[in-house]
Chains A and B, each alone.
Chain A
């Protein structure tokens, strides 16, 4: 199995996510692009977990880093953690987007007023 195929797939997905975050005006579409970037990182973690031991030929595995003996599946565990973080992020992010929509009737991220405005309800 060639290691380069999933690595390049992950890199291209991350580039697409960056493009989407910078290009889109709608906040929900920005969140979708962020999901693409998180997935690219997960893909690279899982690939590295499978392929990195073929790269490190002749390198001694440090015994202090692995109290349970042989290392294995750490990349998958980190991918699971990132999936949980993405779920939390999307929950809070959508709550903020919906609250903003309730206040302003719009979800365009480049029209969000960054200065303080006394007349409008700020919370």
Chain B
């Protein structure tokens, strides 16, 4: 039943499999196997108690809240835990990536800084969600690439060229930060 413990991973394999399998696990069947028949067969054979289902669904509710407003600026509202933002949810709309925004290898210095930080008793209680961080980094860099592709056109506005420079910097910073926080 390891699949039930990581239901969001199913979303990667099939667009609707996440919803399908959750329904399956909770006893609803109408939607379960159209898009992930193998997974459905793997998971639906075992009954799940209501309490177990509800316990897991509390996690889902947290995920949803993280998706809907991870940085929501409601007055007085505490920020949600960033770790709730899941990799699958961060999958970016695809953009072509021109060569100029290709990444450099993760800088060793950054990794060392992270390790030193960890060894020195940082305030972190746990590592960040590196899957989410990497996906966000990729999104940022793909968007920067798209912007710079537009800026490279002969009739591009000066404003777009400026935005390209800024975006490229954002991409580089994202790469550096993620490399530092998520070595390896």
* B is a partner of A: no
Q: Which residues of B contact A (CB under 8 A)?
A: none
Taking Cβ atoms with an 8 Å cutoff, the residues of A that contact B are none
